[in-house]
Amino acid sequence: QATPSHPEPISLPPNTSSAKFHDFLRRASAIVGDENVVVVAGDDQLQQQDYMDRSKVHDMFHILEKKDFLHSCTVAPKDVPGVQDIMRLANEMEIPVWPFSMGRNLGYGGAAPRVPGSIGLDMGKNMNKVLKVDADSAYALVEPGVSFFDLHQYLVDHDLRDKVWADCPDLGGGSVIGNTMERGIGYTPYGDHWMMHCGLEVVLPDGSLVRTGMGALPNPNADKSAPPHEQEPNECWQLFNYGFGPHHDGIFSQANNGIVTKMGVWLMPNPGGSQTYMITFPRDDDLNRIVEIMRPLRVSMILQNVPKLDNILVSAAMEGTRSSYTNSSELLTDAELDAIAEKLGLGRWNFYGCIYGPPEVREVFWKVIKEAFSQIPGAKFYFPEDRPHDKALQTRKNTFIGIPSITELDWVSWLPNGGHLFFAPIAKLTGDDAEAQYELTRRRSEEYGFDFLGAFLVGVREIHHIVCILFDREDPEMRTRAHELIKLLIQEAADRGWGEYRAHLALMDQVAGTYNFNDGAHMKLSEKIKDALDPKGILSPGKNGVWPMTYKQYNKQI
Ligand code: ADP
């Protein structure tokens, strides 16, 4: 059967002639079907800008040129054997493949690959089923194309929300698998997604298939004549993470050692009630005390969920654009920030949390939390019903109980053509550390001409400090300034022992380079594993700074 001829791509894969690329396309089409192979051939394919109408081929928030990180084509496998066959083909032809699930990956590079011309392996398009929900044992088994919206909707459609909730991040359009593999976070007590995953099914770079943890032990009732990916898994696969022997899951997270085709995720039992609250703190220099009060409460889990402490502009940006607050292009001064807080009835710092359990349990928790934070003069306490028009608070009320939305996108529109980048260092959960990170990141942001928008997301013993660098996508000078700023922040943070938990494509090499204890021992280990599993170096070369030996000669300059 004749296949239609494909157009020329904007970017060819490295070391690949046009003829070889077209040969690849023909063979890939035979595996996944023509309708699942799309060549990135023209600028008209690079126009998507919206979260809900996302690009699967370039980074919608690019800080370099749009074409610097671009797929040559996307290939969407229909099933697990399709993924395996594509990996075998990529090995044979030595063409790099970059998997993504939904491809949103907001602020970290979107669906785009590190090496231009890679094959974008669109895992989410066809493999998008919730395979199982066990509400009694409280877990789900999902495929790559299941978004947080989808998983939530599944629970709603099957009347399961009174039994279990699925945690979700700020925005619901990401893939449960993609976000978890990147160690993204949400806000219920199950907010650490990687901690709450249980069991992976992975296609290795050579095309072989592995189940981790208890998944390695066959289910005695499984039909052994079925292909492995269809065999009924061990009944404890989603119940106990570790199985026996080395626990391999970690080598697939923020990594380029395998492609996840199924993942188990723990669901949170419905706690029998919840109460979202907001506490506002009037002064910029309240930060130190807020965090000091927070630590013992969080470590002992009196603060039950992942709470969020926003500086005033994060909340303000949800309510309006920059131009709705000021006509000036000068940076906002402290006096102006105070005025914005006053106008919105908020503090310079605004703390959002949630209490879970039946009313009598919540009452006890609330008493302790309120008493503790009342030590800060001027602290004010609110429930969502006190502020029905407060977008941030109303949205968080939902996020805190696993109901996803996209409202948080509003703050990206702070500037026209809003693009953004996250500088996301981990901080000790102490007032001094939070204050020191705030001082450095705000000072440098302002020196580079950016208003400071920052949020502290509190894990159990640390803070994910998320500094949002917002820029105008259509302003190349501003984009360059944002890039210069974040490079400086990465270096200065590392000099003080602070490292990022995640990074944009353009910054992965630099961040990886800061994790260099004992002459880069960690990277040497990562490279050894990479080269052993993927000797041709075809799976996501350069991801998180891990380059295979086959890319020694490749020009990594960006
Ligand atoms: P989002 O879930 O935000 O839409 P992506 O789907 O783009 O994000 O995934 C983010 C990153 O996670 C990808 O760039 C890729 O490195 C990794 N990833 C996503 N899906 C998989 C997968 N199925 N297997 C391995 N890595 C994946």
pLDDT of residue 255: 98
Our count of domains for the chain comes to: 4
Whether 202 and 279 map to the same domain: the answer is no
CB atoms within 10 A of CB 322: 20
d(CA 337, CA 415): 17
pTM of the shown model: 0.96
Half-sphere exposure (Cβ direction) of 144: Cα atoms closer than 13 Å: 27
| Number of helices and strands in the chain (H, E) | 13, 19
Please identify which of the residues 54, 108, 187, 438 carries the catalytic annotation: 108
Whether 495 and 523 map to the same domain: the answer is no
22 Rama class: left (phi>0) / alpha (psi -120 to 50) / beta: alpha
pLDDT higher than threshold 70 for residue 4: no
Whether 50 and 117 map to the same domain: the answer is yes
Whether 319 and 458 map to the same domain: the answer is yes
Determine the residue type at 342: E
Give the residue, out of 175, 209, 546, with the most ligand 1 atoms within 8 A of its beta carbon, to mutate for a pocket test: 175
Q: What is the mean pLDDT of the chain?
A: 95
Mean pLDDT across 185-211: 97
d(CA 486, CA 493): 10
Whether 260 and 363 map to the same domain: the answer is no
pLDDT of residue 410: 83
Range of the domain at 547: 510-551
Whether 262 and 338 map to the same domain: the answer is no
pLDDT of residue 219: 98
Q: CATH code at 118?
A: 3.30.43.10
Residue 411's pLDDT band, with cuts at 50, 70 and 90, is: confident
- Residue 465 inside a domain? The answer is yes
Which two structure tokens, joined as six digits, stand for 556? 């990594």
Q: Of 247, 84, 78, 251, give the one whose Cα is nearest residue 181.
A: 251
- Residue 11 inside a domain? The answer is no
Instruction: Look at the chain and count its residues.
Output: 558
pLDDT of residue 409: 83
Render pLDDT for 370-387 as a digit per residue (tens, 0 to 9).
999 999 999 999 999 999
Q: Give the C-alpha distances (Å, rounded to integers) separating 536 from 204, 261, 532.
A: 13, 22, 10
d(CA 390, CA 310): 14
Q: Of 321, 323, 317, give the one whose Cα is nearest residue 341.
A: 317
Q: CATH code at 135?
A: 3.30.465.10
ipTM of the modeled complex? 0.98
The ligand 1 site (C-beta within 6 Å) comprises 99-105, 111, 123, 144, 174-175, 177-179, 181-182, 259-260, 543
Last residue within a domain, chosen from 269, 298, 317: 269
Last residue within a domain, chosen from 234, 269, 304: 269
- Residue 83 inside a domain? The answer is yes
β-bridge partners, 454: 467
Mean pLDDT across 445-457: 96
Q: Residue 27 phi/psi, 5° resolution?
A: -75, -35
- Residue 2 inside a domain? The answer is no
d(CA 469, CA 482): 7
Ligand 1 atom at minimal distance to the Cα of residue 104: 4
DSSP 8-state assignment for residue 558? -
Complete edge-to-edge strand list for the sheet that includes strand 97-100: 37-39, 73-75, 119-122, 97-100
Give the residue, out of 181, 265, 533, 544, with the most ligand 1 atoms within 8 A of its beta carbon, to mutate for a pocket test: 181
Task: Determine whether 108 is an active site residue.
Answer: yes
- Residue 528 inside a domain? The answer is yes
Q: Helix %, strand %, coil % for the chain, to 5? A: 40, 20, 45
Cβ neighbours of residue 364 under 8 Å, at least 6 residues apart?
Answer: none
d(CA 510, CA 174): 25
pLDDT of residue 2: 45
